[in-house]
Amino acid sequence: MKTILNKTRGFTLVELLVAIAIIAILTGIIVTNLTSSRSKARDVKRISDLGQIQLALELYFDRCKQYPASASGALPDTYSVTVPLSTSLSNGCATGISLGSFIANIPNTPKAGEVYGYAVNNGSYPTDYILHTILENTNEVVKDGATPGFSQEFTCSRAVGSVDYCLSPR
């Protein structure tokens, strides 16, 4: 009597281990690159947010002939910065108008606990300002930012290695 042996073709243990190792290495490389991309995306959001706030500030200035005052050095969470009560109404701006009325959605920082910095040159009648954020990566766009002449609160540099980014009136 002859016994017929069925030989089934399959992967050996060594072949399976090699395939799993290759997949693990590729996954590690992809995840590492993805983490870098996320921090760059957060930087892009920060720069875009400052541009939106800058536009709202310019609209505010166009109507009120001054920028909103802020005693704290940072835009408040509600962004309901108002014209000081001592401001003359002859400048076309009603007392109590808020920055939030010039921007539909107030941008928030991509990470919890961060705030966008804001400083003005004159607390009672501001005619110049600096917006500030800290980027996670060094970036060429930092060269396009502002170098504040009046603000002692922020250190903004136009150096390539800098991670501080500032904007001033256009």
Which pLDDT does position 95 carry in this prediction? 60
The mean per-residue pLDDT over the stretch 24-41 comes to 87
Q: Which long-range contacts (CB under 8 A, 24 or more apart) does 138-146 make?
A: 138/162, 138/163, 139/43, 139/163, 139/165, 141/47, 141/165
State which amino acid sits at residue 73: G
Domain boundaries, the chain: 13-167
What is the side-by-side order of every strand in the sheet holding 117-120?
117-120, 129-134, 164-167
Which pLDDT does position 18 carry in this prediction? 96
Which pLDDT does position 89 carry in this prediction? 42
Residue 93: which region, alpha, beta or left (left: phi > 0; alpha: psi -120 to 50)?
beta
CA–CA separation, 84 vs 129, rounded Å?
16
Which pLDDT does position 143 carry in this prediction? 67
Phi first, then psi: give them for residue 2, nearest 5 degrees: -100, 135
Compare 41 and 18 and report the one with higher pLDDT. Answer: 18
The mean per-residue pLDDT over the stretch 143-155 comes to 70
Q: Taking all residues of the chain, what is their mean pLDDT, rounded to a whole number?
A: 76
Which pLDDT does position 108 carry in this prediction? 80
Give the residue from 117, 31, 12 showing the smallest Cα distance to 72: 117
Question: Dihedral of the CA atoms 20, 21, 22, 28 (nearest 10)?
Answer: 110
pTM of this structure: 0.68
pLDDT band at 27 (very low <50, low <70, confident <90, very high): very high
Give the residue from 84, 154, 162 showing the smallest Cα distance to 118: 154
